[in-house]
Amino acid sequence: MLSLVTHLHAFVKEVALTETEWWKAIEILTQAGYKCSDKRQEFILFSDTLGVSMVVDLLSHRKPEGATESTVFGPFHRLGAPEMPPGANIASLDKSGMPTLVRGRVLDLEGRPIAGALLDVWQAQTSGLYDSQDPSLDGLHMRGKFRSDDKGRYLVRTVRPVHYPIPSDGPVGAMLAATARHPWRPAHIHFVVSAEGYEPVTTHLFDSADPYLESDAVFAVKDSLICDFVRHERAEGHARALGIAPPYLTADFDFVLKPAAEGAARDPLEGQKRLAALGAAA
């Protein structure tokens, strides 16, 4: 708190904050609060678009060489996604997207498979909207939990992710407009990968073909998380077994987890659960 107050006072003095500006700041923070609900988190969006989330991520998750890097959690995770068998389709209602198989293994730092790892996956629809933003949807969509098999393998069926603008109808949108920034995020799929005895990783897979990789509105791109989505014209292997008609895409990516620190059993969704409890109590 001492440091926060020191920096806050220094900021106020440096810009010679006026009373009008003070009222404006109060108004913006109040608007952000009113925008929050069980489906929307404007404060996470502020943190993400100001780069604070990524600085916290960099400080919190120094990964040894070879471990999968983390990135922002973002405001669109929802609790309660169903556990699905390997190859299940999280995009069953999305009829316009290109069928895509995301597959690979969950490994330890020595390259040994981790069986029974949990992969919590979420993604925007081809429309660019998450289920929680889409008034035509009632329940959960484009979300699922998958387990790695005894060889560490996982298989997720979805559609090609798209770039999408972050919600810009609130105070974060006003800030982006006022600072001449665009609201686009490069196409990605969200993952939280966890396994007993390992440090969970909150991350994304980014599509290497996306035009916004260099200018993500929330600064979340890391080179090691960029993945090729390869187009196939003939149904083979997994696609044939799952009855996917070509053309379709495959994205191959192995997640590598580092061992959990001594005595640290961290729940990667703890913050999310606390926010949900706040909403339920309100």
Residue nearest to Fe ion (CB): 74
* Nearest approach, Cβ of residue 136 and Fe ion (Å): 19
Tell whether omega for the bond before 247 is within 30 degrees of 0, i.e. cis. Answer: yes
Residue 161 beta carbon to Fe ion: minimum distance, rounded to whole angstroms = 8
∠ CA 268-274-277, rounded to 5°: 140
> How large is the angle between the packed helices 171-178 and 42-49, nearest 10 degrees?
20
| Contact set with Fe ion (CB under 5 A) | 74
**Least distance to Fe ion, CB of residue 185, Å:** 6
Q: Which residue number, 46 or 198, has a Cβ lying nearer to Fe ion?
A: 46
Listed residue (189, 208, 48) closest to 124, CA to CA: 189
What is the closest distance, in whole angstroms, from the C-beta atom of residue 252 to Fe ion in the complex? Answer: 21
| Structure-block tokens of residue 106 | 């969950």
Give the count of alpha carbons within 13 A of 195, CB side only: 23
Distances (CA, A) of 143 to 65, 84, 111, 188, 255: 30, 10, 28, 13, 18
Q: Closest CB to Fe ion among 72 and 84?
A: 72
Q: Which residue lies nearer to Fe ion by CB, 218 or 256?
A: 218
Q: With respect to Fe ion, which residue has the nearer C-beta, 74 or 97?
A: 74
Q: Which residues contact 271 (CB under 8 A, 6 or more apart)?
A: 73
Nearer to Fe ion, 74 or 167 (CB): 74
Cβ atoms within 10 Å, residue 209: 13
Task: Tell me how far, at minimum, the Cβ of 72 lies from Fe ion, in Å.
Answer: 9
